[in-house]
Amino acid sequence: MSTAQERVHLSHEHALRLLREMLRIRRFEEKAAELYSAGKIRGFLHLYIGEEANAVGVMQALTEEDAVVATYREHGHALARGLPMGEVMAEMFGKVNGSSRGRGGSMHIFSAPRRFYGGNAIVGGGLPLAVGLALADRMLGRSCVTACFFGEGAAAEGEFHEAMNLAALWRLPVLFVCENNFYAMGTALAESESNLDIAAHAGVYGVPAEVVDGMDVVAVEAAARRAAHAVRQGEGPRFLEARTYRFRAHSMFDPDLYRDKAEVEAWKERGPILKFHDWALGSGLIHESGVEALEKEIAREVEAAVAFAEGGAWEPVEDLTRYVSTGDEAAA
């Protein structure tokens, strides 16, 4: 595309930033899996390993004033959005120094100051929230984009169609981002959808859509910039289908018996970090010494995040009813 807003400038600094953000997510998630196995993190845990290019690529097209709505596989989105790693880790530990005071855990990372609205545990639950946020921005006269991430399984939910319809009808500034990893929990897409072309669903509502390689961070960023630019110009919502793949099971509870191991290994060979690292190295955009420095920097950041979470306090028992109300109290 020809406009400055739609081009990706792959300078040395930008290439390092893309690699850094993807590596931060990968190393954080690997540590989270380790801590979960050690009993430090409890409840549900859905890892973003393999899908890092989507969060990192899309965030390059957003400003601090824009809003982000994510799924329960949202640690990567939160980190790419700029939430401090220690704050995210502490939330997963259930500590009061977490992003939601330890009340949300892994699936409910939230930060109003950064306009990061979840972490939503219900499949498709973030879609109507995104429409509401975009409508609020419109009514308040704010020129913002609301980026809404969701999985392909959400396309079978009623709120997906309701949200798409209203966003198109009212020409709301929403950037819908479907992270299609081909398995809605443990069900292959072909077993749950009569039309495997998820982007085509957007066309039913007249929403322009684009399919992008979700394992290519540069392609995702370029597509996100084009879409976000159109939304900012008042052209209504846009839809991206990022075809990606999670390398780990759906959650830490999932035995992952529904996928062939050879399929997983084949996807790993074109993983987003490996793919970008090798290409950028071969193109001279980055150097191995710089990558080694990044890894050391990130290792220190992860270590500090764990220490921050470990050192956090548990919420006092007498505070457990804070932020909780009954119907009778609300009526009063």
Q: Give dist(CA 167, CA 164) in Å, integer.
A: 5
Cα–Cα distance, 28 to 182 (Å, whole number): 24
| Predicted pLDDT of residue 195 | 81
Give the pLDDT band of residue 3 (cuts 50, 70, 90): very low
pLDDT tens digits for range 237-294? 999 999 999 999 889 888 888 999 999 999 999 999 999 999 999 999 999 999 999 9
For the beta carbon of residue 194, count every other beta carbon within 10 angstroms.
6
Q: How confident is the model at residue 7 (pLDDT cuts 50, 70, 90)?
A: low
At 330 the pLDDT is 54
- Going by the DSSP 8-state scheme, the letter that residue 45 receives in this structure is -
Of 1-5, 88-92, 188-192, the one with minimum mean pLDDT is: 1-5
Q: Where are the domains of the chain?
A: 9-311
Amino acid at site 222 = A
Domain 9-311 sits in CATH at 3.40.50.970
- The stretch 36-58 carries a mean pLDDT of 96
Percent of the chain with pLDDT over 90: 83
CA 235 vs. chain centroid, Å, equals 24
Q: Is the pLDDT of residue 5 over 80?
A: no
- Look at 200-214, 242-256, 292-306, 312-326 and tell me which has the smallest mean pLDDT: 312-326
Please give the Cα distance from 220 to 213 (Å, whole number): 7
Mean pLDDT (whole number) for 309-321: 92
Q: What is the reported pLDDT for 256?
A: 87
pTM for the full model? 0.93
- State residue 320's pLDDT score: 83
Question: What does the alpha-carbon distance between residue 78 and residue 212 come to, in Å, rounded to a whole number?
Answer: 22
Work out whether strand 183-184 and strand 174-180 pair parallel, antiparallel, or are unpaired.
unpaired
Q: What is the pLDDT of residue 136?
A: 97
